[in-house]
Amino acid sequence: MKKSRNIAIVAAFACGLLAGPALALDPHLEPARDFASASVERLLKDPVILRSIRMHNARHARLSTSEIESLDIQWRLETGSRNRPLIDAVLQSDLSKCLMHLRRAAGGRVTEILVMDARGMIVGVDHPNSDYWQGDEEKWRKTFLAGPGAVFVDDVEHDPSTDAFQSEVSFAVTDPESGEVIGSITLGINIDRLASNET
């Protein structure tokens, strides 16, 4: 399915989605959820994150589906290029620099930190990932669209590059002034490293 079609589907789905009751979490994912929840508690209220998301939302509020798709294509092309104005603009932001510091300070337990806006586009990230638009992925759909307080824990997957088992834990970011969800944040948790630190 093309990205442009995915964007349209997500936009239509958002109109009728209501947050459902929390589902029971697999026992092996509970440590990842608990660690991510404790780690992200301050981030959800951090003024740098809130300000960055608000500004991103305002700047891109009127982007069309095709414009979002073009940015996503540009990002993916830049991942294999030395000339990468879009990626560099994101990585050089105060938010991304903060996320890089937080990941390094986690001692290997956090593999990535990603902040997304109200359209599912990247606002800040600790290192370049494969896509700029995340609006077709569960990390955004099951948090931003689900409402305030939403948390989504993805399945554990093996990462060949690190030979580790990892899970993504995502949270809705709520504006404390309006009470509205303005974006979402995802932490990649290294399950192997987390378990070794707890033993």
pLDDT single digits (tens) 141-168: 999 999 999 999 998 888 765 567 889 9
Please tell me the CATH code under which domain 25-198 is placed.
3.30.450.20
Question: pLDDT (tens digit, 9 = 90+) per residue, 172-194?
Answer: 999 999 999 999 999 999 988 88
Neighbours of 137 (CB within 10 A): 18
In whole angstroms, give the CA distance from residue 169 to residue 33.
6
pLDDT, tens only, 106-132 = 999 999 999 999 999 999 999 998 999
Residue extents of the structural domains in the chain:
25-198
The angle at the Cα of 127, spanning 173 to 95, to the nearest 5 degrees, equals 45
Q: Is 50 left (phi over 0), alpha (psi -120 to 50) or beta?
A: alpha
Q: Give pTM, 2 decimals.
A: 0.82
| 113, 187 Cβ separation under 8 angstroms | yes
**Cβ neighbours around 22 below 10 Å, total:** 9
